[in-house]
A and B are shown apart, each in its own frame.
Chain A
Amino acid sequence: MTLLELEDVTASYGPVQVLDGVSLSVPENGAFGILGANGAGKTTTLRAISGTVRAGGRIVFAGKDIRGLRPDRVAALGIAHVPEGRGTLGDLTVRENLRVGAYLRKDSKGIDEDIEYCLDLFPNLRERISSNASALSGGEQQMLAVARAIMSKPRLLLLDEASLGLAPSTAKNVYDAIRRLRVESGIAMLVVEQNANLAFTLVDSATVLETGRNVLTGTSAELKGMDEIRRAYLGG
C-alpha cells in the first residue's frame, strides 16, 4: 500500500526553479531516502509536502490530494516534519516542546505514555526534561525535534538532515534511535540525508536528485552497488 505519492512535483523560489518534476512514493511502514548534493532540491521536496513552499504536480497522502494545504492542516492529517535546523522551540522546556508536539491530541493519558516513550528512546532528554531547549547540545536538540514529531502520533515522518552538524558518534546515536522507532512504531519515513552511509542504515530504497529531478531510484542494496553512487556519496 502506498502511503505517500509524489508525481512530477515542481516548486520555485521566486524566479528560481528548484524542483523540476520530482516523483517518488513511500509505502505504508516503509522508509524512503532522498539523496543528492547541496541545492539538488531535497529539502524543498519535503517543504512541498508539508505545505511550506508552493508546489505544482500531484502530492497524494493516504489517498487524499494534499498539495496546497496549509502546514498545520498537513500536520493534522498525520505528517510530522522535522525540519532542517531542527526547529526546536528554544524558550520552552523539553517537556513543553513535547507537549506542543501533542497539541492536536486529546488523550492526556496517551500523551503521558508517549512522553515516557520518547524519554526511553532518547535517554539524554530525560535528565534535561525541565531545561530550556535552547540550553541543549546540538545532538540533544535533534533528538528533541524527532521526539516532538513523534508526539503527534504521525503516520509519516519527514526527516531533514538529522545528522547535520553532529559529531559522527552523536549522529549514529540519533539514527540508532530512529531505526528503533521505525521497528517499534511502524511510522513511515521520508528521509533526506547528505550522509548516504547513514541513510542506508535506515531506508529500504531511495532516489537521487540532481538539479530538481530524479536521476536514479532503487533499493538501498542496488544503489550501494553502483559505482557512481559510491564515488559521489559513499566516499569511494
Chain B
Amino acid sequence: MEKFIQLVVDGLSIGSVYAAIALAIVLVHSATGLINFAQGGMAVLATYVAWVLTNRGVPLVLAILGSILFSFVLGAVVERYLMRRFERGDPDTAVVVTIGLLTLITGIAGWLWTYNNQQFPSLFPLDTVSLLGVSISIRSIGTTLVIIVAMVLLQGLFFGTKLGLALRAVAINPQSAAFSGLPVERLLMVGWGLAAALGAVAGALVAPQLTLTPGMLDSVLVYGLAAVILGGLTSPVGVVIAAWIIGVLENLAAVYVGFIGFDLKVAVPFILIFVVLIVRPQGLFGRKTVVRV
C-alpha cells in the first residue's frame, strides 16, 4: 500500500511537469492556433540560464525567477520576430518553423554548454515526510503544489483580469478584437511570453531529477502533447488532469504490469490516447467544435 501511494504521488509530480508544458502549448494554441513544438526547447534554454546563474552564486530561487523572466522575454521575441511572419500564412509551415526552432535551440544549448549531463540543484529537500503513516518525498509534493499554484494564477489571470479577457478575445478572433481597439500584436507577444514562462517553471522543477541536458525536455514534450490531446485542446483544467492521469498511470504500469516494466512505460499514455480518441475524438474534456452554417 505504501509503495502504491508513493508511486501515485510521484506520478502526480512528474505529471505536473507534463502539465506545465501542456498548459504552455494550450496557451499558445489558443492565442495563435499553432502547436509550438519548440516549447520544451525554449524551456530548456531558460533552465540553462538558471543553471548559469546558480553557478555564479545567485541563490536558487532568484536564479529561477530570473530564468522565468528571461523566458517571458524569449517567448515574446520569438513571437514578434519569428512567428509573426508565419501566423497569417499556412499553419503547416508555421508548425514546421517551430520544429526547426526546437532543433536550433537544442543545437545552441549543446554548443554553449555541451551535451553532458549537468547537476541542477533542487528547490525542495530530498527528504520524505510521513503522511498518514506513508512516507512521501517532499520534492513530489512541492512540484505538484507549484503547478497547482501556477494553474490557479493562470485561471485567475484569464477569468479575473482585463488583460486575461483581452487575451481570450484575441485568441477567438484577432481582427474583430482589433475593432474594439485591442492591440492584437502586443497581446500575442504576451501570450507567447506567458507560455514560455510556464515552460521555465517546468524546466526548473524537473531538472534536478532528469539532470540538465539540451534534450532534457524532449520526452516531456511528447508527454505534454499527449496530455493536450487527451485533455482536449480547449480545456486548461482538462489538460492538467490528463497530465496527472498520464504521470500516475505510467508509474503504476511500470511496477504492477509485469511485461511493461520501465522500458515499455513510455507506451502506456499513447495506448490510452488511442483508446480515448476512438471514443471521444475531442479529448476527455474538450468541446466538440460545432460548425454553424
Contacts and interface: CB of A to CB of B under 8 A. Distances in A.
A100 B169 contact: yes
Interface of B: 162, 165-166, 168-169, 172-173, 175-184
Given A75-B179, A83-B179, A149-B179, A103 B166 contact: yes
A70 B181 contact: no
Nearest to B171: A91
Contacts of A100: 165-166, 169, 177, 180, 182
A72 B173 contact: no
Given A50-B179, A71-B178, A75-B179, A87 B173 contact: yes
B183 to A, nearest CB: 5
A103 B175 contact: no
Contacts of B182: 72, 100, 103
B166 A87 contact: no
User: What size tier do the contact residues of chain A reach?
Assistant: 20 to 34
A118 interface: no
List of 6 A-B pairs having minimum Cβ-Cβ separation, nearest first: A87-B176, A75-B181, A71-B178, A104-B181, A81-B179, A72-B178
Contacts of A102: 180
A23 interface: no
A148 B172 CA distance: 15
Q: Which of B173, B176, B182, B183 has the most CB of A within 10 A?
A: B176
A38 B162 CA distance: 39
B181 A52 contact: no
A12 B147 CA distance: 50
B172 A103 contact: no
A220 B166 CA distance: 40
Nearest to B179: A81
Contacts of B162: 99, 103
A99 B165 contact: yes
A96 B169 CA distance: 9
